Amino acid sequence: MATFNLFNTLKNDLEIDTGERTVSVIPQLSPKNYAQVKSILNRLGGDWVTQKQHFQFSKCPQALIQRVLSVGSRHLNSFHFYPTPEVIFNYITQFTPLSFFGASEKQVRVLEPSAGEGSLIRQLEAFGKMEGRDFVTDGFDIDPLNVIFCQEAGLNVQQADFLNVEPVENYDLVLMNPPFNGDEFIKHIQHAQKFLKPTGLLISIVPTQWIKTFDGKANRMWLLEQAQIDSTTDLDENNFFEPGTFKGVSIPTTVICLRSCQSAEQVLNSKQYRESSIKAFGFYIDNHGKSWDKLHRIKMDVEGADKTVEAVQMLTASILRDMTADTTHLVRRYEENYVVSLVDQWFPKYAYKLQKAPPEPQQLNLGLFLDELQVA
Ligand SMILES: C[S@@+](CC[C@H](N)C(=O)[O-])C[C@H]1O[C@@H](n2cnc3c(N)ncnc32)[C@H](O)[C@@H]1O
C-alpha cells in the first residue's frame, strides 16, 4: 500500500465540483490521515455535510486548495488574513467620525490598503447604501487569491505590496485593518497616512499591546501621539475589544483615528494643545498620590537648584515611562514643558535653571478640523 502524502492527496485525490463548490475525498484513508485532510479543508472554510458526504465551500475550493499547494499548509496564513467582523465595523460607524463622514452629498474617496477578501469594503458599501452616502473605494492586497475574490465580487482591488505603492494625496478616508505581525501594522499606517488629503481621516483597527509596552520605541511613540489627538478613549483598556472578537485572534484590539500628517503636526505644535496637555499633566500629579508625595519629598530632601531640577526631570521621565490607564493620555513630546511647569509651580526659586524656553508654538483653530470633516 502506497504511503500517505498530504500534498499528493490534496493534488490528486480530491473530487472538486467547481459549480457546486463541493469537495469529496476519493480514497479510503486511515482515521489519522483523514483527520489531516479534513483539518486543511476545514481551515480553508469547507464545512462537512454528512448527508452528502462532501465538504461545502462558499468560495471557489479549487483556488483555495491551489493556495495550499503553492504556499504549503504551514504558511497558509502567511499574510495574516483576519477579516473584520461586523461588531467592529458597527463600532466604527457609531463611535468614529465615520458616523457623519460623507453625510453631505459629496463623494467620499476611500482607500483600503490591505483589503483581504473585501470585508471592510463590502460593509462600508452596505453602510453607504443604507445611509445614502457615496463611498468610492480603491483597494490593494498582497495575496493574489484575495484579489481574485475581491475582483470576482466587483470590488476595485489591485494586487500589490502596499508598502511599495507610491503615495498620492487622493483620499478623504483610509479605512484599514492591516496585518498585525510585530510592529508591521505601524509601517502600514505610516504609509497609508501619506495617501490622505490634508483634511482626510484614517481609521485603523490595531492590536493594543504596543500602547502599554512602547519601551521608548520611536515608531510606537509616533503612533501614540498621532492617535492621542482624536482617539483617547479608544486607547483606554476598558474600551478594548476582547480577544476572540476576530475569529482566531487571541489578543485584544481597538480602533484608532489619525489625521493627515500636515493636520496632525499643526495640532501637535499648537499652543492650545500644548497648554491643555500641560494642564492634564498637572491634573495627573494632583490626583496621583504617589507622584504628589514624591514631589513633596523632593521639596523636603533635595538641596540646591541642580539637584532639584534633576529630581523633577527624573520623576517626570518615570511617569511618562509608566504606561498605565492613567498616563496613556499624556503627550510625550511635551516632557520638557512638564518639567518646566512643575519647577515653576513647586520650586519657583529654581525656575531660572530652565529658562531656555522651548520654541513658541503656533496658534491653531482647533474647531477647524471638525468643521471640515462635517462638510466632507
Ligand atoms: C488582518 S487582514 C485584514 C483584511 C481586511 N482589511 C479586512 O478588514 O477584512 C490583513 C490583510 O493584509 C494583507 N497584507 C499583508 N501584507 C500586505 C502588504 N504588504 N500589502 C498589502 N496587503 C497586505 C493580507 O493579505 C490580509 O488580507
Determine contact, residues 331/225, Cβ cutoff 8 Å.
yes
* Residue 296: how many other CB atoms lie within 10 Å: 11
The pLDDT score that the predictor gives to residue 371 is 43
137 Cβ inside 6 Å of ligand 1? no
Q: How far is CA 344 from CA 281, 296, 338, 353, in A?
A: 14, 14, 10, 10
* CATH architecture, domain defined by 86-268: 3-Layer(aba) Sandwich (3.40)
118 Cβ inside 6 Å of ligand 1? no
User: 241: Cβ–Cβ under 8 A, 6 or more apart, which residues?
Assistant: 87, 88, 91, 252, 253, 254
The pLDDT tens digits of the residues spanning 61-91 come to: 998 888 778 766 655 666 777 889 999 999 9
Tell how far the Cα of 358 is from the centroid of ligand 1, in angstroms: 41
User: Using CA positions, which residue lies closest to atom 9 of ligand 1?
Assistant: 83
The pLDDT tens digits of the residues spanning 207-260 come to: 998 887 777 788 998 999 999 998 767 788 888 999 888 877 788 999 999 999
pTM of the entire predicted model: 0.80
In which residue are the cell numbers 504609509 written? 191
| Ligand 1 atom nearest to CA at 178 | 10
Tell how far the Cα of 14 is from the centroid of ligand 1, in angstroms: 29
* Residue 189: how many other CB atoms lie within 10 Å: 23
Tell how far the Cα of 76 is from the centroid of ligand 1, in angstroms: 14
- For the chain, the structural domain boundaries read 6-75, 86-268, 271-354
193 Cβ inside 6 Å of ligand 1? no
